[in-house]
Amino acid sequence: MPLHKEKSRLDVPLNQRDYLKSHPKSPTINRVFELSLTYIQRADEAHKRGQKVYYGGGVYDSPILHANDAFPCVYNELGRLAGDDSVALAEEHFQIPNETCSMVKATMGELLRRKNSFKGLIAYCSLCEPYNTAFEVLKEEGYDVYSVDLPYRAAGVNDARFESLVDFSEKELTGLAEWIGGGRVDEERLAEEIRRTNLIHAKVRRLLDLQVANPDYIGTLETMFIWNGANHHYGAPEEYEDILDQLIAELEEVSAIERKIDRVPIVWCGGRGQEFGIYKLLDDLGGYISKWTMAGRLLRDYDESLPPLRAIAYNNVLGMGGPGGAKDQIPFLEQSLEDTKSRGIIFYGYFGCSFTSVNFEVIKNHFAHKGTPSLVLDGSFQIGDPSGQNVTRLKAFMEMVTNG
């Protein structure tokens, strides 16, 4: 019996930890949750043991940090801890206006609380304006911050100009690697980390394919937790890889039994919300995410034939570092819709996030002309219930796509 018919998870208390621990099917999934839920705590412990802990984006900095035996921790996982009180703390301490994106405020509040729990902060420029300024303000508060400037890859940038962007990005990443490595970069070790990341990426991709074929076995939120760790591995690469192996084995076993999928496939475009109730609701409404566009970017393999920092720079410019013009995302989405026979697209961004907003409008406009239904949701970063507005809109959208 499909999970959504077996038991409505709307009955589960809306507390992320309880919700995650209540998952009934895969024992391995609980290990993923455990890894995620203890991530920040393990970072704090690593710091106490004397390991260098850095907060960063958790993607392109991760191989660099692993290669330096540092512990990579990520801002978006701070959202797992953050509630309204973190936001209020940031607003009060830094006098940040309330209209600022909740992700930035929640992060700043949590970083303020944990000032003595890490060595440094890695600030990526270009992706998000509130963060850019927030890190400058944190510098003034005495935090050790290294800014990595990222070039913006606008639509249509190619050839010589693309290479120029990569050159710049490589220099910026070299600066970061030297900052972390105390002035030196161990290229051999870095190349090793890149190879390991590529292997892990391949496993995550395999797992995502298996999950899409078995959406009743592993739900949407659980899936997000799995691929979330594809680059930072929740600070525990061996454990994370072992979990992936076990999950693949589990899903391959499940796949051997033929089942009919009566869920509605939807493509997810944009950010990963911490307001986990959205994913829970999507499952309860009989949907599932057939493709995550961000996962496509985050699971791009590094080119092992290149010097490692150059390889990271390429992925950086192609991926999150320069999200590119909105139009660059359209072919991927078209392919995803076709491959998965998805019935629509959900765009998800945080309220106040400018870099997703116009992209969504452009992409939505493109697909509206093709008759593909889509929904834009403005979410919030800190954990908690989705807003009533988002719940209503998601319900209406799912009803529309389910009934054709």
Partner 1 sequence: MTEQNKEAGTQKRAGYFCIYTPIEVIAAAGATPIRLFKGGDSIVVNSGEVYTRSYFCQFAQYSVGAFREDDPLYRSIDKIYHFNTCDQMKKGVEAIGEFFDVPYKMLCLPRERNRDASRQFMQREVEFFRKDVEELTGNPVTDEGLREQIRKYNQARQWVKRLSELRKQDVPPLTGGEFLDIVKAFYYLPVETSLKYFEEFYSHIAAEKASGERPIRLMISGGIIADGDRRLIDLIEKELGARIVVEDHCTGLRPFYYPIPEDKPPLQALSDGYLDTAPCARMKPLEERLDFSQKLADEYRIDAIIYVSLKFCSCYSISKNSFTKRFHGLEIPVLDISADYSENDLGQLRTRIGAFFELIRKGDSHAAA
Q: Which residues bind partner 1 (CB under 8 A)?
A: 94-97, 99-101, 104, 125-126, 128-130, 132-134, 136-137, 139-140, 147, 149, 151-152, 154-155, 161, 164-165, 167-168, 171-172, 175, 325-327, 351-352, 354-355, 357-359, 361-362, 365, 378
Using the minimum distance from each CB to partner 1, give the nearer residue, 89 or 401: 89
Phi–psi pair at 76, nearest 5 degrees: -70, -20
- Residue among 41 and 354 whose Cβ is closer to partner 1: 354
Q: How far is the CB of 329 from partner 1 (least distance, A)?
A: 12
Nearer to partner 1 (CB atom), residue 208 or residue 326? 326
Where in 80-205 does DSSP place strands (E)? 120-124, 145-148
Q: Minimal distance in Å, beta carbon 97 to partner 1?
A: 5
Query: Beta-strand (E) ranges in 193-352?
Result: 264-270, 287-292, 344-350
Type of residue numbered 311: A
Which is nearer to partner 1, 130 or 287 (by Cβ)?
130
First CA to last CA distance, the chain: 24
Place of tokens 């703390």: 89
- DSSP structure string for 244-285: HHHHHHHHHHHHTS-----SEEEEEEE---S-THHHHHHHHT
| Nearer residue to partner 1 within complex by CB, 109 or 235 | 109
Using the minimum distance from each CB to partner 1, give the nearer residue, 44 or 328.
328
Q: Is the CB of residue 347 less than 8 Å from the CB of residue 360? A: yes
Residue 152 CB, nearest distance to partner 1 (Å)?
5
- Kindly state the smallest distance separating residue 115's Cβ from partner 1, in Å: 17
The phi-psi region of residue 384 (left if phi > 0; otherwise alpha if psi is between -120 and 50; otherwise beta) is left
Rounded to the nearest whole angstrom, what is the least distance from the CB of residue 61 to partner 1 in the complex?
Answer: 16
104 versus 346: smaller Cβ distance to partner 1 = 104
Burial class (CB in 10 A: 0-12, 13-18, 19+), 392: exposed
In whole angstroms, the minimum distance from the beta carbon of 44 to partner 1 comes to 27
How far apart are CB 156 and partner 1 at their closest, in Å? 9
What does R_g of the chain's alpha carbons equal in angstroms?
20
What is the three-class DSSP state of 74? Answer: strand
Q: Which helix (H) or strand (E) is 366 found in, with range?
A: helix 354-369
Of 319, 296, 322, 276, give the one whose Cα is nearest residue 227.
Answer: 296
Phi, psi values for residue 26, rounded to 5°: -95, 120
User: Closer CB to partner 1, residue 29 or residue 375?
Assistant: 375
Between residues 155 and 199, which has the closer beta carbon with respect to partner 1?
155
> 273-309: buried (b, 16+ CB within 10 Å) or exposed (e) per residue?
bbbbbbbbbbbbbebbbbbbbbbbbbbbebeeebebb
In the complex, what is the shortest distance from the CB of residue 1 to partner 1, in angstroms, rounded to a whole number? 41
**Shortest distance in whole angstroms from residue 366 CB to partner 1:** 9
